[in-house]
Amino acid sequence: KVKIISGVCAEGTFDAINQAKAAEAAGADGILLMPPHLWLRFGIKPEGALKFVKDVAEAINIKIFIHLYPSNTKSFYPIDLLLEMCKIPNVVAVKMGTRDMPLYERDVRILREKTPETTLLTCHDENVLSTMIQGLDGALIGFSGCVPELITALFKAVQNEDLKEAKKVNEKLFAAAQGIYGIGEPTGEAHARMKEFLVQRKVFTSPLMRPPLMPLDQHEIDVVTKALTDSGVEKVNLV
């Protein structure tokens, strides 16, 4: 059975609870709880952030995955706060999006030592291999929807400590990631390129994005086409 984790992105606790309850009622196995985006501008108060997660957790009976935002944002949860969140009974996983490699590796080690039962998942779409080799339990990334067979193969190779195979898979994965992200992080424009990738793989029928995102120009479409070719994945004809 495939597990369903529903994203919850809300500007306040009440809305987050309503979204979480709706996900539970619809049959989701858990939620991915993102920080309110007002914190991106104004920053967090640790006790407020902890209460936010506790209040949502107490309102539902399904599991919670914490979405850890990049360390260069004001909504990043420092390790001491993250450890407190992991003590909440139905918090079972962290989507690690630190994007600062020394800090990322340190925090992974601390989490493994202090809360070994917590599942750790890389969130680094643009550099999966280098954020998986620390012994993570998997990946929770939008990019995996484009090339699930490569992400799965890479994870298996890392789990088997087969560096040669991991590097071989990563060459194909790198080609796809370059076409979608370049050297940047996930953005609305990257999501538009992901959608075009899925159209060209015959998974989606349309690359249309909601405004204000703009359609890709022909050069961007050609870049995606090359990424698809270089990645070596096949078209699947699901449409």
Task: Give average pLDDT by consecutive 10-residue segment, the chain, 239 residues.
Answer: 94 98 98 97 97 99 98 98 98 98 98 98 94 96 93 98 98 94 71 95 95 92 96 93
Same domain for 186 and 231, yes or no, is: yes
- Residue 73 sits in which domain range? 1-123
* Token couple for 226: 């090359």
d(CA 195, CA 181): 13
Specify the number of domains making up the chain: 2
Same domain for 3 and 89, yes or no, is: yes
129 is a domain residue: no
Return all residues near 127 (Cβ < 8 A) that are at least 6 apart: 177
Same domain for 157 and 198, yes or no, is: yes
Same domain for 92 and 43, yes or no, is: yes
177 is a domain residue: yes
Q: What is the CATH number for 87? A: 3.20.20.70
d(CA 43, CA 52): 14
pLDDT for 164 equals 98
91 is a domain residue: yes
Pairing mode, if any, of strands 63-68 and 91-96? parallel
d(CA 3, CA 204): 22
Of 205, 189, 196, 203, residue with least CA distance to 224: 196
195 is a domain residue: yes
pLDDT for 41 equals 94
pLDDT for 183 equals 58
Same domain for 29 and 99, yes or no, is: yes
* Token couple for 113: 């030592």
Q: Rounded to two decimals, what is the model's pTM?
A: 0.93
Helix, strand, coil percentages for the chain (3-state, nearest 5): 50, 10, 40
pLDDT for 184 equals 63
Same domain for 157 and 107, yes or no, is: no
